[in-house]
Amino acid sequence: MKGLLLISGGYDSPVAGYLMQQKGVEVHALHFSYEPFTDNGPEIKSKTASDLLGFKSFTAINISKEIEEIAKKCSHKLYYVLSKRLMMKKAEELAKKLKYDFLITGENLAQVSSQTLSNLQSITEAVKIQIIRPLLTYEKIEILNLAKQIGTYETCSGPEVCDCLGPKHPATHSNTEEVSEEERKLNIII
């Protein structure tokens, strides 16, 4: 089995990929770059963690134009849900092209606003491919301890710059209908 891991440069996604490897999954890593809104630090951390864990491949895709359009044209409170849906759709395209079986994420229930139950549902409904979330019920301390055990903790330390365009008060509840309505405001295809 082949899985496409969405890797961010934070602690969670490398641990998720590692856990899937332990189940015999061939893990391929995909990083979404926000340059020039951020520097290349997250990409470097993602590549380093990917290499350290022996993931089969590493790909980086710049989505700065798309996230900028989401930030400018859509309800700002839904920015994180919309940007995650964008990433899932782009990951699904790559997975189909390269014949990967499913997507893997480091998402953890209720850790951040985009990971509430309703927001995860809105994100999941963006794609048809299966999304595996091996850390869904883990406590953050468990994830950090695993990162230390597998050697990615130091690599993934440092500030999280996952989103400089996001709102201070993001939506913690969404539904597919309202999210789809916001997506119709965009020129980009997501």
Read off φ and ψ for residue 2, nearest 5 degrees: -120, 130
**Lowest-confidence segment of 5-14, 59-68, 161-170 by average pLDDT:** 161-170
The residue range of the domain holding 150 is 2-183
> For residue 70, is it within any domain?
yes
pLDDT band with cut points at 50, 70 and 90 for residue 176: confident
β-partners of residue 102 are 3
**Span 113-126, pLDDT tens digits:** 678 888 999 999 99
In a domain, 189, yes or no: no
CATH number for position 6: 3.40.50.620
The total number of structural domains that make up the chain:
1
User: Among residues 156, 125, 132, 127, which one has the least CA distance to residue 5?
Assistant: 132
What would the mean pLDDT of 74-103 be, rounded to a whole number? 96
- What is the CB neighbour count within 10 angstroms for residue 159? 8
The CA radius of gyration of the chain, in Å to the nearest whole number, is 16
pLDDT digits (tens, 9 = 90+) for 44-63: 999 999 999 999 999 999 99
Complete DSSP assignment for the chain:
-EEEEE--SSSHHHHHHHHHHHTT-EEEEEEEE-TTSS-SHHHHHHHHHHHHHT-SEEEEEE-HHHHHHHHHHS-GGGHHHHHHHHHHHHHHHHHHHHT--EEE----TTSSGGGSHHHHHHHHTT-SS-EE-TTTT--HHHHHHHHHHHT-HHHH-S---S-SSS-SS--S---HHHHHHHHTT-SS--
Q: Does residue 188 lie in a domain region?
A: no
Q: How confident is the model at residue 165 (pLDDT cuts 50, 70, 90)?
A: confident
End-to-end CA, the chain: 27
Percent of the chain surpassing pLDDT 90: 78
The pLDDT value recorded for residue 110 is 73
Amino acid 189: pLDDT: 60
**Average pLDDT taken over every residue of the chain:** 92
Residue 190 inside a domain? The answer is no
